[in-house]
Amino acid sequence: MHIKKYTIAALILIIIVGWYVFAFITKESMSIEFFGITLPSLSIAILAVIPMIILYIASVLHMSFYSILGALKLRKHEKDYEKIVDAIVDAYLGKENRSNSFKTEKYKLLGFLVDNATIFPADGLNSVVDNKKINNVLALINGVKNGDVVDLRKYSLPSSNALVIQNERNRYKKGTISAEDILNGNTKYHISLRKEVYVDFVKKAPLYLIEKYKDAISKEALFEILSRINADANTLVVSNDSLISLFKDLKLTTDDYIQASKKLSKSMLPEQRIKLFETLSNENENVVDAYLFTLFDLEMLAPAKEILDISQPGEYAHFKAYSSLRECGKYFDINLFI
């Protein structure tokens, strides 16, 4: 019951009782002695309603107390509702290390699940969600997915965040930032994005800039560089020392080195190519296969046989088979043996 309505009803009842006693029962007055003190004489009608007034005051205090408790409990639920909305927003944005504090038991469970979940909103979800904060985030996410550039600064997302990376990728594709801008921003842009744009950058960049930003090198970028050596377009002249430095910045497999030798077979001078893989093989055993491939590919059979002769019985079996066939006068493509 609302206190205002209760007060009006109580006052009406008190007035009616007081009037009834005064009008129909007695108009007399009497005095009351309280703890030895004689109080002023009061109408019996007033004395009759005093207990009702005391009961009204006590009941109002009682209702006010529980009303305050209810308001505080409701406030906790409202705050937890706001926090769960924030938790959903953080989950949509892909924030890491999420840990929201909830006051009510039901929201504690729901909040814990949301904080430890990865949530990807479905397309068109913002049209059915009646929450401005969530709708704003959904609009940003959809914009990034559609290739637009949006403002994510107010969410304080790190450069490693997937949305931030895609948003910066959108800026790069739209031409608002260049590859060199991204490569210059070591701390501003995530390494995955820097590696991605470096692949495009090395297709035309001069050697000194390629070496300047080589911390973003990848296998794909290296092969782009190799394809430019002595090429007809965007020609790149690179010394073996520079190439060795680029190779050392990557963890390549034996097959990667062989593929690199194949790439260089189209443009690099044979002497430089042999020297390159000889130097690399002296420092890395994974390159020996590529060095042997290079020698056989260039018909340098004697140096290749010298390496095979000092190798262990189980090593380089496919190259030994190829060498034996060549000694017997059989001619096969070396690519069939790798």
* Under 8 Å between Cβ of 150 and 140: yes
Q: Nearest CA to 294 among 326, 320, 261?
A: 261
Cα 203 to Cα 141, 151, 221, 239: the distances in Å are: 32, 31, 8, 18
Alpha carbon distance 90, 337 (integer Å): 54
Q: What pLDDT is stored for residue 118 in this prediction? A: 84
Type of residue at 67: S
Structure tokens at 158: 């790190």
Q: What is the DSSP string of 106-118?
A: HHHHHHHHHHT--
* Under 8 Å between Cβ of 260 and 225: no
Chain segment 216-248, per-residue pLDDT in tens: 999 999 999 999 998 888 889 999 999 999 999
Q: What pLDDT is stored for residue 126 in this prediction? A: 66
Chain segment 187-201, per-residue pLDDT in tens: 889 999 999 999 999
Domains of the chain, by residue range, sit at: 3-93
With a cut of 70, list the residues of the chain below it in pLDDT: 1, 34, 36, 38-39, 126-128
Alpha carbon distance 294, 20 (integer Å): 120
Chain centroid to Cα 304, Å, comes to 51
Q: What pLDDT is stored for residue 292 in this prediction? A: 94
The number of C-alpha atoms within 13 Å of 21 and in the hemisphere containing its C-beta is: 15
Q: What pLDDT is stored for residue 1 in this prediction? A: 52
Q: What pLDDT is stored for residue 127 in this prediction? A: 64
Provide the angle, in degrees to the nearest 10, between the axes of the packed helices 270-283 and 288-297: 160
Q: What is the DSSP string of 292-328?
A: HHHHHHTT-HHHHHHHHHTS-TTTTHHHHHHHHHHHT
Cβ-proximal residues to 217 (8 Å cutoff; 6+ apart), any chain: 195, 198, 246, 249, 250
10 Å CB burial of residue 196 (0-12, 13-18, 19+) is buried
Q: What pLDDT is stored for residue 6 in this prediction? A: 85
| SS3 labels along 231-251 | CCCCCECCCHHHHHHHHHCCC
Cβ-proximal residues to 30 (8 Å cutoff; 6+ apart), any chain: 41, 42, 44, 47
SS3 content of the chain, % helix, strand, coil (to 5): 65, 5, 30
- Neighbouring C-beta atoms of residue 204, cutoff 10 Å: 13
Q: What pLDDT is stored for residue 208 in this prediction? A: 94
